[in-house]
Amino acid sequence: MRRHAKAPTAGLTKRLGKSKPALLLCVVAASVAALALVVGSASGATTRFLVEAFGSSAQPTFPADRGMAYDQGSEELYVIDSTENELRRFNADGSASSFGALGSNAIDGAGTGDETPQEGLSFSFNDEREQIAIDESGEASDGNLYLTQAGSDVVDIFNPEGEYLGQLSESTEGGEFGEPCGVAVDGEGTVYVGDRGDDLIHVFDPAAAVPVNGDSAAESIATLSNPCSLAAGTGATAGFLFANQSSGSAHKLDAATGEVKYEIATSVNTLSVDPGTGHVFIAKSCCSSSAVEEYDASGAAEASLVSSFKPGFPA
């Protein structure tokens, strides 16, 4: 049975002297040269998942990770491994967390139970279009996994057991997706798909456990050009959507109207939002240095959580 996220408690973890709420997802997949994830536990311990061959032997290593998502309820980490063209799942201690229907911790889209119409997942070593979203709404669609891929123009859907459920491929307003470039799910189970090919964010309100194309809203969000990495607000950020413009600026949008509430003019690889405080964490990476920047609920800069460091080695 899935556990749902609790409100932030007094249990804090500190990273570079900055206090953060329990179970805080700080950043997802900055790059293969960056600190990938910092998760604080209620006990105050910190679990760090590192790329390349760094970290303890108990931690998973990913030569080419291209996206990550943290399930606040089950405390599991999902990782896109572009080397193996797999979506892999791990417990917070780094051990493998097997999908019940597959007998392993990897979805490849080509086996019994998880096979997609494309007969396999298709990822790229260096492409921002790849993103994972987890439905933690508590609605009929709770637990669904949504996946965008560089080698596909659809959003694949899987259940928590690893079984393939279906696809999203078009919306009422935009027709067939042009170039899906990110996906997010809010606290009500509403699915948002960034489409940089059509300059739209498609919106789907599932009528059943598995959303279908017919669940799309009459109008898509057309505020941004090249919308890519997405994060949907929950808790303190309910009703808002966060999106970047294909390695460009980050924006906070009213999820109902598309109105821009603020813009963070910085180069964004990917972003994440803290449901407790509404703070946004932005991962930036170039060449041999990377950084994770924090912005408050108004879009004002708070801190740089991770400064420049050598590939795979946190400062």
* 235 — pLDDT class (breaks 50, 70, 90): confident
Q: Tell me: pLDDT of 136 over 90.
A: yes
For the segment 193-203, what is each residue's pLDDT rounded down to a tens digit? 999 999 999 99
Cβ neighbours of residue 118 under 8 Å, at least 6 residues apart? 109, 152, 154
Residue 146 and residue 183 in contact, taking contact as beta carbons nearer than 8 Å: yes
pLDDT, residue 43, reads 32
Question: Whole-number mean pLDDT of the chain?
Answer: 77
Cβ neighbours of residue 53 under 8 Å, at least 6 residues apart? 61, 312
Residues 23 and 75: their CA atoms lie apart, in Å, by 8
Most confident of 3-7, 16-20, 215-219: 215-219
Mean pLDDT of 226-245: 90
Mean pLDDT of 129-135: 91
* 61 — pLDDT class (breaks 50, 70, 90): low
pLDDT, residue 143, reads 96
* 286 — pLDDT class (breaks 50, 70, 90): low
For the segment 152-181, what is each residue's pLDDT rounded down to a tens digit? 899 999 999 999 999 999 999 889 999 999
Residue 313 CB-density burial (10 A; 0-12 exposed, 13-18 middle, 19+ buried): exposed
pLDDT, residue 59, reads 60
Q: Tell me: pLDDT of 187 over 50.
A: yes
Q: Tell me: pLDDT of 20 over 60.
A: no
Helix%, strand%, coil% for the chain, nearest 5: 0, 40, 55
Q: Tell me: pLDDT of 69 over 90.
A: no
Q: CATH top-level class for 12-306?
A: mainly beta
Residue 37 and residue 77 in contact, taking contact as beta carbons nearer than 8 Å: yes
Q: Among residues of the chain, what percentage have pLDDT more than 70?
A: 72
Query: Would you kindly state where each structural domain of the chain is located, as residue ranges?
Result: 12-306
Mean pLDDT of 5-33: 31
Overall pTM surpassing 0.75 (yes/no): yes
Q: Tell me: pLDDT of 72 over 90.
A: no
